[in-house]
């Protein structure tokens, strides 16, 4: 009778593409911070990948939070042309140097200056919602993505924030 030696369970560490990208210093975050948006007003955000960047932006996740009702539309090639937001590298061993640009506007009318291709729309009552994109939304050079967020509460200010995490590869 053969002598079989049993080996215990094999343990392997699974490394995700996000962990690899983080170790390479190519994961960035853009945030509006917490903005006070008046009743029925808008918060608009854009992230642009300029022509000639030779990079593709791959969205990992979107996190929107609010204390009241909001809707959010995602617009391909949309622009806000608002106040600049600085993208930050999520690996502190690397600089936040990037060609990516981002901006936001908080105003009463539609903040989207250009772009009409709505690729997603969401509504939430309140709280925090994370939309995992897992790198499936890609922004190639000379393209952008914008977010139109509206405070749907007609009588109160709303505390709204949008955080976008992406890989620049």
On whether residue 21 sits in a domain, the answer given is no
On whether residue 19 sits in a domain, the answer given is no
Q: What is the mean pLDDT of residues 110-127?
A: 89
Predicted pLDDT at 4: 57
Predicted pLDDT at 162: 95
On whether residue 11 sits in a domain, the answer given is no
Predicted pLDDT at 6: 55
d(CA 118, CA 145): 10
On whether residue 50 sits in a domain, the answer given is yes
Is residue 16 predicted with pLDDT exceeding 70?
no
Range of the domain at 78: 28-168
Full DSSP string of the chain: ---PPP----------HHHHHHHTT-EEEEE--SEEE-TT-EEEEEEEE-TT----EEEEEEEEEESS-EEEEEEET-B---EEE--EESSTTS----S-EEEEEEESS----B--EEEEEEEESSEEEEEEEEEEEEE-TTEEEEEEEEE--SSS-EEEEEEEEEEE-
Predicted pLDDT at 63: 92
On whether residue 23 sits in a domain, the answer given is no
Question: What would the pLDDT profile of 46-82 be if each residue is shown by its tens digit?
Answer: 999 999 999 999 999 999 999 999 999 999 999 998 9
Higher pLDDT, 12 or 106: 106
What is the model's pTM?
0.86
CATH number for the domain that contains residue 84 = 2.60.120
Count of domains observed in the chain: 1
On whether residue 76 sits in a domain, the answer given is yes
Which range, 6-15, 42-51, 84-93, has the best average confidence (pLDDT)?
A: 42-51
On whether residue 8 sits in a domain, the answer given is no
As given in the structure block, the two tokens for residue 98 are: 């990037």
On whether residue 131 sits in a domain, the answer given is yes
């Amino acid at each position: 009778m053969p002598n079989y030696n049993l080996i215990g369970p094999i343990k392997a560490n699974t490394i995700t593409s996000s962990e690899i990208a983080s170790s390479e210093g190519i994961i960035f975050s853009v945030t509006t911070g917490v903005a006070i948006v008046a009743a029925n007003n808008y918060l608009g955000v854009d992230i642009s990948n300029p022509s000639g960047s030779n990079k593709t932006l791959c969205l990992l996740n979107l996190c929107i939070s609010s204390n009241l009702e909001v809707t959010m539309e995602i617009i391909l090639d949309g622009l806000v042309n608002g106040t600049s937001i600085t993208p930050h590298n999520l690996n502190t061993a690397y600089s936040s140097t990037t060609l990516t640009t981002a901006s936001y506007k908080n105003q009463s009318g539609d903040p989207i200056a250009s772009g009409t291709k709505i690729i997603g729309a969401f509504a939430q009552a309140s709280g925090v919602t994370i939309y995992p994109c897992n790198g499936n939304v890609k922004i190639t050079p000379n393209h952008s993505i914008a977010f139109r967020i509206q405070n749907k509460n007609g009588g109160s200010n709303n505390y709204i924030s949008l955080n976008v995490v992406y890989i620049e590869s």
